[in-house]
């Protein structure tokens, strides 16, 4: 009775509204029509088909996406857990987590998260061998369509417990017979971390440890160890290279200083090193080296010999030596010629003997390489080279890189 009353009430409303459908119908037909309309309105809406490309995955939302560790020492790793929640309507799948330099992420024990479920990503940062302000990142790849590669930022200011300045010593051009010194300073913030020894791998560069002295860095007390590097007077003319190893009370902290320069005598060669670059098989090669006095003393060239590092001589022919009378005292032009043959690297040196009491022998190293499978009369490229220049221009000015 209650249901029929509701239907009748609805019917009365429709009639009162002046429904045109109800006109010219019998009361039974009108009631049947109204019941059908009410049932259609109360029926559930059918599910709509999914739109192609619509996301059914999760949504990754981090509680915080960056962390600043502040000032940290370089002898201890730090860690942080980034919390996240799947705020989407589907399952969140974490596919990969990758840290940049210094950051590591342990293997994830769980990769799938239901809607509303939370998790953590632990990040460890190792500041060893770093100093000053640092910024590294962790990339989280997931099935979140809107944020497939989320970035987590890690900031810090690394305070080294021991540091060295400068890490490279460049003596520049050193006149032979002149003693030259430079100093490397090692500063330790930890009283237990001390410098024990410094050694050089080259007889051309000697080292001497001076007495430690107290000092300050950024207002903090440190102990400073000064290490003196010297080029001796009797070092022969030529290129200067050395590695100085500094050993401390911590076996894991061995520092290395690179020392470089060139000892020059009374006679200078220009160029000091002959770069042949990349050659093609059968390509003719001509080179010129100028030998001149640096101290105003006259001299004569007695001989020029090609001494290869391995294999046969590259400049096998007899070089021509021309006296340059435009300079005072006269200089000499050494003209060399050869033809590239075979394939592989080219290394050797020109040994020039003079009558000078100061520089009886001058050595000029040469190096280059011969490419394989490219005849001298053909371009190694069709059309243009990678830089966009014509191929024949590349041949005229080839690369000087030498394969090891």
Query: Can you name the residues that pair with 96 across neighbouring β-strands?
Result: 141
Residues 258 and 184 in one domain: yes
Closest CA to 108 of 77, 130, 86, 140: 140
250 and 297, same domain (yes or no): no
Listed in sequence order, the residues at least 6 apart from 318 whose beta carbon sits closer than 8 Å to its beta carbon are: none
Contacts of 21 (CB under 8 A, 6+ apart): 14, 33
Note whether residue 44 is domain-resident: no
Residues 118 and 85 in one domain: yes
245 with 306, same domain? no
DSSP run (H or E) holding 37: helix 27-42
Residues 345 and 290 in one domain: yes
As a residue count, the chain comes to 404
Sheet harboring 78-86: ordered strands across? 60-62, 78-86, 118-125, 103-104
Predicted pLDDT of residue 343 = 85
Return the pLDDT at 7: 42
- Nearest Cα neighbor of 196 from 259, 255, 257 is 255
Counting the structural domains of the chain, the total is 4
Radius of gyration of the chain (CA): 41
Of 238, 264, 290, the residue at which a domain comes to its end is 264
Residues 229 and 277 in one domain: no
- Are residues 137 and 94 part of one domain? yes
Q: Is residue 48 part of a domain?
A: no
* Domain finish residue from 159, 190, 212: 159
Regarding whether 348 and 296 lie in a shared domain, the answer is yes
Supply the range of the domain harboring residue 256. 162-264
Does residue 107 belong to any structural domain of this protein?
yes
Q: Is residue 131 part of a domain?
A: yes
In CATH, what number is assigned to the domain containing residue 210? Answer: 2.60.40.10
| 197 within a domain of the structure (yes/no) | yes
Q: Looking at the structure, tell me whether residues 335 and 313 fall in a common domain.
A: yes
Q: Domain end: 239, 264, 289, which one? A: 264
Burial state string for 133-143 with b = 16 or more CB within 10 A and e = fewer than 16 = ebebebebebb
* Shared-domain flag, residues 72 and 35: no
> Would residue 55 count as lying in a domain?
no
Output the CA torsion sign for 373, 374, 375, 378. Answer: positive
| Same domain for 68 and 91 | yes
* Sheet with strand 168-175: strands edge to edge: 168-175, 254-264, 238-248, 195-200
pLDDT in tens, the chain (404 residues): 444 444 444 444 444 444 444 456 666 666 666 656 655 555 554 444 444 434 467 999 999 999 999 999 998 999 999 999 999 999 999 999 999 888 888 888 899 999 999 999 999 999 988 889 999 999 999 999 999 999 999 999 999 999 999 999 999 999 888 899 999 999 999 999 999 999 999 999 999 999 999 999 988 999 999 999 999 888 888 889 999 999 999 998 999 999 999 898 899 999 989 999 999 998 999 999 999 998 899 999 999 999 999 888 899 788 999 999 898 999 999 999 999 888 889 999 999 999 998 889 999 999 999 987 655 454 444 444 444 444 444 444 444 433 33
Greatest Cα pair distance, the chain, in angstroms, is 137
**Is the pTM above the cut of 0.75?**
no
Instruction: Quote the pLDDT of residue 49.
Output: 44
Whether residue 53 is contained in a domain is answered as no
Indicate whether 256 belongs to any domain: yes
344 and 272 co-located in one domain: yes
Q: How many CA atoms lie within 13 A of 131 on its CB side?
A: 9
Angle at 117 between CA 112 and CA 119, to 5 degrees: 70
What pLDDT sits at residue 242? Answer: 96
């Amino acid at each position: 009775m209650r249901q029929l009353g509701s239907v009748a009430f609805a019917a009365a409303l429709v009639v009162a509204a002046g429904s045109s459908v109800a006109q010219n119908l019998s009361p039974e037909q009108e009631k049947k029509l109204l019941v059908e309309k009410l049932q259609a309105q109360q029926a559930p809406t059918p599910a709509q088909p999914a739109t192609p490309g619509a996301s059914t995955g999760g949504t990754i939302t981090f509680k915080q996406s960056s962390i600043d560790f502040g000032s940290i020492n370089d002898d201890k790793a730090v860690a942080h857990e980034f919390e996240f929640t799947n705020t989407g309507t589907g399952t969140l799948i974490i596919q990969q987590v990758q840290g940049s330099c210094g950051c590591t992420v342990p293997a994830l024990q769980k990769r799938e998260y239901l809607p509303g479920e939370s998790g953590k990503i632990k990040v460890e940062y190792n500041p060893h061998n770093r100093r000053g302000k640092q910024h590294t990142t962790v990339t989280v790849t997931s099935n979140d369509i809107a944020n497939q590669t989320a970035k987590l930022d890690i900031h810090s200011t690394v305070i080294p417990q021991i540091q060295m300045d400068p890490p490279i010593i460049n003596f520049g051009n050193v006149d032979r017979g002149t003693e030259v010194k430079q100093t490397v300073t090692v500063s330790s913030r930890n009283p237990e971390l001390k410098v024990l020894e410094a050694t050089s791998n080259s007889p051309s560069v000697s080292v001497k440890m001076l007495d430690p002295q107290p000092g300050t860095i950024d207002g903090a007390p440190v102990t400073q160890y000064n290490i003196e590097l010297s080029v001796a007077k009797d070092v022969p003319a030529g290129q200067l290279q050395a590695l100085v190893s500094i050993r401390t009370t911590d076996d894991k902290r061995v520092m290395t200083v690179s020392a470089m320069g060139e000892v020059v005598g009374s006679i200078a060669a220009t160029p000091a090193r002959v770069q042949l670059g990349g050659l093609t098989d059968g390509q003719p090669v001509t080179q010129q080296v100028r030998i001149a006095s640096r101290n105003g003393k006259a001299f004569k060239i007695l001989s020029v010999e090609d001494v290869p590092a391995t294999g046969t001589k590259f400049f096998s022919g007899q070089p021509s030596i021309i006296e340059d009378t435009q300079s005072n005292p006269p200089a000499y032009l050494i003209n060399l010629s050869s033809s590239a043959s075979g394939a592989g690297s080219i290394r050797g040196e020109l040994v020039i003997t003079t009558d000078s009491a100061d520089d009886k022998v001058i050595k000029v190293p040469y190096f280059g390489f011969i490419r394989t499978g490219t005849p001298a009369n053909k371009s190694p490229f069709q059309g243009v080279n990678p830089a966009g220049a014509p191929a024949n221009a590349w041949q005229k000015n080839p690369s000087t890189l030498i394969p090891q």
